[in-house]
Structure 1
């Protein structure tokens, strides 16, 4: 499975009655494609998979597949209990997704052998390529990562831990055992801040939550970073680092602020579901100022 460009994790819009708004989701995904997304990861973390029913999950994935129309890969979230992960993976396959992002087991921890069994059970049950999301209760050692990479259904690892030393050793061990044909990407919240560090250890791909509400900024950063343009550092200074500081004020703001930003841009995405909370009016005003600073920096760079 090949990805080229920013990996887009769309929000899951809810209407005024709190129901999934498929029309708004289709427009949201289409907008991401218009801005050059290299892959669409539907009903994942930014898409509030934890808060979706089985029917809503399937509908969100199906809506994304319909909106994309084969232009880029569509990856669906799956995870939680092993039975739930299998059910979500099967639904993703039925809806036409190209693969799954396998999230960690719910709540409980297990030994490394148990993590491999969890991944194996899901990927053997559903014939669909899987990217393993390393975070929370599913953190792999380099040896376990290599064992995981050998499973027939596994095509990649997304890192949400942020331990660059561990990731460097994982990449080296997987490459040593399996060669170059395996995908890694940086899946930290506001991943742009850590792109240089991850690129240095062989992980150039990254997911961009900011792309869901500021695709102009996210795309400009992506191009500037790869071109060695000073604009990349400028955007880190005026947009990404302030966004991280605001995000760190409350658990769940990695999603809540993205939805608030999308609403500021006129998207009909609604609020977040519990236990997440929406930002306050004052925090939304701060977010608006951060957004304006980012858009202004992009505009000024384009006119220079």
Structure 2
């Protein structure tokens, strides 16, 4: 257990350093036009993303369409990410569904060399706090890897529940997707010293400054998957207190992106993939039940992407 705890401490340290130095990258999973997995396309875009300075990489999560991967595909995605990271960045793989299936994915990620796991919200049912805690307890008992728990959708912890899961030796952090700052402040105050928190709202940059006011400055960036120039410029503006640049990027790119995203359910992933394709990234289409953007929405996305890249002096 001492060795495991030392490993967890090292992962926490690496994640904290990474979160302070760059956005958290969630790579898209590449598919061929027929819907089959494209490992080499995925490898190419992970390698490209690594070169743009993220703080950590999270394969097979929501943006990576974890929900559409079988276990063999999942193994490939995590293995490729670990190989491309080469120990330079922490690799945090997504796991999910019910706890028994989550443990199966956790073991695959562990064998593939992941550093930690992001526990995605469980499948379908609403559950009481006791059930949410037990879900995490079962997963924690089934893996040696450190866990970051994602509260979003039907998962929302109270301060008492957070204290219970944070007391588990391998639970090291919480990703929040609810954007309820009152609840989040209560959770940060209830957590033990050193517990990690980060902003996992859709298009997290929109709320990054608000999250920072309750002690949660780190955030995930879907935009990094297709426009790292924009993602890094916004991160630098926040870090440096450059409100003028941050507000220009929010007003002229991020807010219009959210408005476009809200037109169709699932566009939080579909638009990101479409934007990546516009920039020549080998990501392919989304898998059902998601759908690719309409021609009209794709034209609006291309115009918005051009505007955003012009703001930071980059080319489409």
TM-score of the aligned structures, taking structure 2 as reference length: 0.92
Does structure 1 residue 252 correspond to structure 2 residue 269? Answer: no
Match of 2:257 in 1: 243
Paired position in structure 1 for 2:6? none
2:238 is aligned, of 196, 215, 225, to 225
Question: Does residue 144 of structure 1 match 2:157?
Answer: no
Is this contact kept in 1: 2:33–2:285, CA < 8 A?
no
Q: Are 1:156 and 2:165 matched, yes or no?
A: no
Distance 2:299 2:153 in 1: 31
Which position in structure 2 is the counterpart of 1:280? 294
Deviations 1:137-175 (A, max 9, x none): 21101111121111111000000111111111111111x
Please report how far the alpha carbon of residue 16 of structure 1 lies from its aligned counterpart in structure 2 after TM superposition: 2.2
Measure the CA separation in 2 of the matches of 1:45 and 1:68: 20
Any unmatched runs of 5+ in structure 1?
none
Give 1:186 deviation, angstroms: 0.2
Q: Give the equivalent residue in structure 2 for 1:89.
A: 106
Partner Cα separation in structure 2 for residue 98 and residue 275 of structure 1: 30
The CA distance in 2 between the partners of 1:291 and 1:146, in whole Å, is 42
2:62 partner SS: coil
Partner of residue 51 from structure 2, selected from 30, 34, 50: 34
- 1:49-78 residue CA offsets vs partner (Å, 9 max, x unmatched): 011111111111111111111110001010
Aligned mates of 2:172, 2:122 — CA distance in 1? 19
Query: Secondary structure in 2 aligned to 1:140?
Result: coil
The separation in 2 between residues aligned to 1:19 and 1:150, in whole angstroms, is 41
Deviation at 1:109, TM superposition (A): 1.8
Give the alignment of 1:156-235 within 5 angstroms. Answer: 156-174=173-191, 178-179=192-193, 181-229=194-242, 230-235=244-249
Give how far 1:228 is off. Answer: 1.5
Q: Name the residue aligned to 2:140.
A: 123
Structure 2 alignment gaps of length 5 or more:
1-11
Q: Normalising to structure 1: TM-score of the pair?
A: 0.96
Rounded Cα–Cα distance in structure 2 between residues aligned with 1:197 and 1:81? 32
Question: What root-mean-square deviation, in Å, do the aligned CA atoms of Structure 1 and Structure 2 show?
Answer: 1.0
Is the counterpart of residue 295 in structure 1 residue 309 in structure 2?
A: yes
Deviation at 1:20, TM superposition (A): 0.9
Moved segments of 4+, more than 6 Å:
none
Please name the residue that 2:131 is paired with: 114
Distance 1:162 1:42 in 2: 23
In the TM superposition, what whole-angstrom CA distance separates every residue of 1:217-262 from its partner, at most 9, and x where no partner exists? 0000000111111111110011100000000111110000000000
